Structure 1
């Protein structure tokens, strides 16, 4: 009963933190897509000189910890005169990191579309960009949805790292409650349950999106 009373008292603070967690994750997902899509296109270009910066970016983001990337943006950049607010630094770090992984998902999805689709479009007089937009991307999106949804679910969990740059999301909200109640176990378990519930919610949305895309594809 003591745990139930504790969780009832902590619920408003923790749920508010969970709301910020979802907002940060969605903002980072949008930012990651805005970064990842052009990066994926650059990496597919035959001109290696144009693809090289995109390859370096993806390698760097995937090869270094997200926590280090946050520290560089928030604590490192002020030493060279660039100071970012915590919200900007947190969302930017999450976006840059997820953009690298999303670019790989999108690139793999585009590569999965049979080359015959390109050849058929070219034979009808369509150029590279019209073929990509009208023929390839609608098919690639259906393939990319599971991987993109997995990235969003990972972002839900990765937002816990923004607490190290003083952003109040679920993890920092939980720590704040613990600092006044001195009851870490039930509160950390409650935070884990909220993260799990959010992940299950986005998994359900992923399945629904896949079903709608599959139905749309079969109806063509």
Structure 2
């Protein structure tokens, strides 16, 4: 079963402890309920106040049982604000003892038996005690999770690049060799996707298309979003490569009895692609890094894995170094490949 939850929340921890659940992690509280209503999820597991506000009014959704687990909300104050802390405590005690807090909770359908524990809650929890807890956690224990995220990143990047290459080559041919309206369409496509942010394009694909009856999975939306965006850059690389080939070569092919299509396929494109190869590998490196943006549509790749782990353990620096190294390890071989291709191209031109 696919169950949506909020990254770093108690509900996320409870689902992990439960096991046997395909957990979909979100950075916001609105998106999981939208995906549930669209049928992308089987359930959403979040705090009662969140569910009461976002899920209960939605007629497409319903509660499937009593609340489980237990969590507490707290206020964080600076150490020097002792007077403010004491004043807030007095107000809370007054609200609890007078029954006013219960009335407020009941008004918003938040009161249940577990809330009665507030009357006897006296435990103090400081930031220092939290630091002591997370110090004992080794970042090495998170390597399997990060490596899994890296594998997903590689898969998304490779699939997206294949889409970008095929679509980009098609757009380049349409722009250079075809007549209106096809060449105009190719030009408009390239300008639109190069001129708008990738993040907005991903939002439209994943959250916008359901409004017109098209619902994509996170993986499909991620691959299409990255592929369609980078296709615009690939198209210009291929167009530049085609423009670099002397027109006489196409004319020579046509004089030998080749059709226009055959001459382009056999003579022009092989040379144009060879010229464009260094740029293609550079785009592939950039795509690896831009793949981190797909985390906004519930894809748990490398960056999303880092965000979840760092928010839970507060080890932003240590985990960040590991993630940066993993991205470098994935992109550096491509950088070496790009340099070799450029050297080969220079030798052939000589």
TM-score (norm 1): 0.90
Deviation at 1:80, TM superposition (A): 1.7
1:86 aligns with 2:241: no
Deviation at 1:192, TM superposition (A): 1.7
Partner of 2:168: 36
Structure 2 residues not aligned, in runs of 5+: 1-133
Deviation at 1:208, TM superposition (A): 4.4
Distance in 2 (CA, whole Å) between partners of 1:56 and 1:6 is 51
Within the candidate set 297, 300, 317, 1:165 is matched to: 297
Partner of 2:287: 155
Distance in 1 (CA, whole Å) between partners of 2:285 and 2:300 is 19
Partner of 2:313: 181
Structure 1 residues not aligned, in runs of 5+: none
Deviation at 1:57, TM superposition (A): 0.7
Name the larger-Rg structure. Answer: 2
Cα offsets for 1:102-152 (capped at 9, x unmatched): 111111111111112112222222221111111111111210101111111
Deviation at 1:207, TM superposition (A): 3.7
Partner of 1:50: 182
Q: CA contact under 8 A between 2:278 and 2:341: conserved in structure 1?
A: no
Within the candidate set 198, 201, 207, 2:333 is matched to: 201
Partner of 2:150: 18
Within the candidate set 217, 232, 257, 1:100 is matched to: 232
Q: CA contact under 8 A between 1:105 and 1:144: conserved in structure 2?
A: yes
Cα offsets for 1:91-112 (capped at 9, x unmatched): 1100100111111111111111
Within the candidate set 271, 290, 308, 1:139 is matched to: 271
* Structure showing the higher helix proportion among its residues: 1
Deviation at 1:213, TM superposition (A): 6.9
Cα offsets for 1:163-192 (capped at 9, x unmatched): 011101100111121133211112122212
User: Higher RCO, 1 or 2 (CA under 8 Å, sep at least 6)?
Assistant: 1
Bigger CA drift: 19-28 or 110-119?
Answer: 110-119
Distance in 2 (CA, whole Å) between partners of 1:45 and 1:209 is 27
What are the equivalent positions in structure 2 for 1:61-72 lying under 5 Å apart? 61-72=193-204
Name the CA shift for 1:66/1:83 in 2 (closer, same or farther; >3 Å): same
Q: CA contact under 8 A between 2:275 and 2:345: conserved in structure 1?
A: no
What are the equivalent positions in structure 2 for 1:120-131 lying under 5 Å apart? 120-131=252-263
Q: CA contact under 8 A between 1:18 and 1:169: conserved in structure 2?
A: yes
Distance in 2 (CA, whole Å) between partners of 1:65 and 1:118 is 37
Q: CA contact under 8 A between 1:142 and 1:214: conserved in structure 2?
A: no
Bigger CA drift: 119-128 or 94-103?
Answer: 119-128
Report SS of the residue matched to 2:289: helix
Count residues in correspondence: 215
Name the CA shift for 1:46/1:157 in 2 (closer, same or farther; >3 Å): same
- CA RMSD in angstroms comes to 2.1
Report SS of the residue matched to 2:138: helix
